[in-house]
Structure 1
């Protein structure tokens, strides 16, 4: 009985102890700082492929392989190295005819053929020649350009400038709040980073076409990317001495 009573008293005292502990905690201020830098991309990623359809899976696969072989050859002719070419998708799917819905009752889907899709992702550092590269892929037989994106290869190093700007922004805000309550900033207590704002990707859809010597390359603009960083920072507050 005494043990139970002692335990009950101890449990009842926990909230009081926690409150007293919070009262003893050093006052602090928490803010969010943001910084950004602009950087010109120096790397392009092109996702291109061939979609083939035929009555049988074997025929569709054979036709796709023949077309994809020409696409790979075009990449080699453009000077793209093997390390910069990677298959990113390969699928064989049956194709069904579900009718036009004009019948009086449900219709059993009818198998009409197969579709083979083979996709490769190509990495290129020759950004001024991306338009020509896309044109050569389409001319060689690629009938699907799924995606084109630009990247900054030294992204982490470029972000260091944004990190410094974000911390300066956080300190500026913290000093304003500290002055507002009659205090000054003390020691930093915590800093955490959150990178935000992934660059928008450019999507290009293409169909096979015939090129001639006088044709202009597909115009591509890489622009600049804004690399942004957000930091959560907390400083201790030191009360200003009364005069």
Structure 2
């Protein structure tokens, strides 16, 4: 029995010793976060706009909207916008109420508002202002947004990742130098926040010579990584 207890005690001591050694080894690392950012001029724009009309009856409001949207779609096809670059985003009919606060009797429906909004992807940026002009000419009166992007963001994404890793290594080297130790090999790399996505930066003033001035600005891609470096002996 004593022999068994002694063996168990020795095993526990060895296990604790190994665990403490591992913990000590884990502490001999430098953990840093690196960030990379790459900016580029956009080559694609997506606009979301449509038509809103009001009438006494729901079908009348939607009929007015449908006439204008049909004309817009026809004009977009005429100027070379591909069908796959046009998509309906919103189609609604809502009542218009009077006396909603019930201050003067019961609330009543006095009409209906219909809306049909479409998104249009423009791959030829110099034509963006003209596309907006054509939509407005055909009855577009509800503008919801304009977003710039790049058709192939992968090269920018990879460049941002490289910049993030370089930033992390530079930080680790600085910390190692300040601490008077030598930087060892990379132990772990972890990308943060999922895959990098392009986003808008501040826009610079620009005009395409149409009645609708456009500011393209830049698209930026950001990447972030956590890295763990060993401290060399």
Within-5 A mapping of 1:25-64? 25=26, 27-64=28-65
Asked whether 1:238 is paired with 2:232, we answer yes
Moved over 4 A (4+): 16-19
**2:90 alignment counterpart:** 89
Residue ranges of structure 2 left out of the alignment (5+ in a row):
1-12, 204-208
How many pairs does the alignment contain? Answer: 212
**1:109 alignment counterpart:** 107
Q: Is this contact kept in 1: 2:201–2:220, CA < 8 A? A: no
User: What do the CA deviations read for 1:217-241 (whole angstroms, capped 9, x no partner)?
Assistant: 31112122232222211111123xx
TM-score by length of 1: 0.78
Over 3 Å counting, the alpha-carbon distance change for 1:77 and 1:183 in structure 2 is same
Asked whether 1:22 is paired with 2:23, we answer yes
Classify the secondary structure of the residue corresponding to 2:68: helix
RMSD: 2.7
Residue 221 of structure 1, aligned match among 211, 215, 218: 215
User: What do the CA deviations read for 1:154-211 (whole angstroms, capped 9, x no partner)?
Assistant: 2121122222222111111101112222322222122122337721598xxxxxxxxx
**2:144 alignment counterpart:** 146
Over 3 Å counting, the alpha-carbon distance change for 1:58 and 1:22 in structure 2 is same
Q: Tell me the CA shift for residue 41 of structure 1.
A: 0.6
Residue ranges of structure 1 left out of the alignment (5+ in a row):
1-12, 203-214
**2:3 alignment counterpart:** none
Within-5 A mapping of 1:76-225? 76-98=77-99, 103=103, 107-194=105-192, 195=196, 198-199=199-200, 216-225=210-219
Alpha-carbon separation, structure 2, partners of 1:201 and 1:126: 21
Q: Is this contact kept in 2: 1:45–1:148, CA < 8 A? A: yes
**2:66 alignment counterpart:** 65
User: Structure 1 stretch 44-53 or stretch 219-228: which is displaced more?
Assistant: 219-228
Q: Is this contact kept in 2: 1:149–1:201, CA < 8 A? A: no
Alpha-carbon separation, structure 2, partners of 1:201 and 1:88: 26
TM-score by length of 2: 0.81
Q: Tell me the CA shift for residue 99 of structure 1.
A: 5.6
Q: Is this contact kept in 2: 1:148–1:201, CA < 8 A? A: no
Alpha-carbon separation, structure 1, partners of 2:90 and 2:17: 60
